[in-house]
Amino acid sequence: MGKENFSVEQTGSKKGLFGRFINKVSGASQQKPGGEQGSVDIIVSSPMKGQVVPLSAVNDEAFSSEAMGKGIAIIPSQGKVYAPVDGVMTNIFPSGHALGITGVSGVEVLIHVGQDTVKLKGKYFNPMVKQGQKVKKGDLLLEFDVEGIKSAGFDVTTPIIISNTGDFSGVQVISKDIVDHTEQLLLVST
């Protein structure tokens, strides 16, 4: 298994004094390319299949300006959202249009299906998980009707945001133009 398959769930390091102790005895501490000890980059997988577009192309200033955090957007080609990391479902909006997951690494991922889709009041959305539920990367989190949302007049472009961007040294897009839910999407540097 090459480095491209590593995820923080397998090799992540903990922060703080106690975390540094645990990392030392567990061997989780890794050396970054720049020589810094104790950090491992976090891979966030794509939560859906579709066309990758920059956040700047999202028709909502809260996302396009990166006010909500750094990330990327996907124009979905199918109506399924999968867990991009191992973690816990920390927020499932009552309308089902947006999900928050906190990875075991501490990375917080917001997946917001479409623009202004909260106005649909849950129509076309079927959450498959509950708030507080533990999930594994690749678990099905949400099903939604892409064509139904479009026919109701809504843009389905879906921002995928690292909502705690400030806790990390960087967020980089590592995907290509078209991505599947099994592929790497973002590299979050610790």
Residue-wise pLDDT for 132-181, tens only, equals 999 999 999 999 999 999 999 999 999 999 999 999 999 999 977 999 99
| DSSP string over 141-158 | EEEE-HHHHHHTT----E
The pTM (predicted TM-score) of the whole model is 0.80
Give the Å distances, CA to CA, from 91 to 110, 114, 127, 176. 9, 17, 12, 28
Q: Mean of the pLDDT values across residues 27-32? A: 37
Report the share of the chain in percent with pLDDT over 90. Answer: 76
Q: How confident is the model at residue 39 (pLDDT cuts 50, 70, 90)?
A: low
Report the share of the chain in percent with pLDDT over 70. Answer: 79
Task: Please give the pLDDT value at position 10.
Answer: 32
Contacts of 181 (CB under 8 A, 6+ apart): 45, 46, 47, 48, 49, 80, 82, 138
List the beta bridge partners of residue 142: 81, 127
Residue 153 and residue 184: Cα distance in Å, rounded?
Answer: 30
| DSSP string over 43-68 | EEE-SS-EEEE-GGGSS-HHHHTTTT
Joined together, the tokens standing for residue 148 give: 């139904």
* Range name among 29-33, 82-86, 172-176, 177-181 with the lowest pLDDT average: 29-33
Helix (H) or strand (E) holding 26: helix 16-26
Contacts of 104 (CB under 8 A, 6+ apart): 8, 9, 12, 85, 86, 87
Q: How confident is the model at residue 121 (pLDDT cuts 50, 70, 90)?
A: very high
Task: Please give the pLDDT value at position 175.
Answer: 77
The SS3 call for residue 81 is strand
Task: Please give the pLDDT value at position 137.
Answer: 97
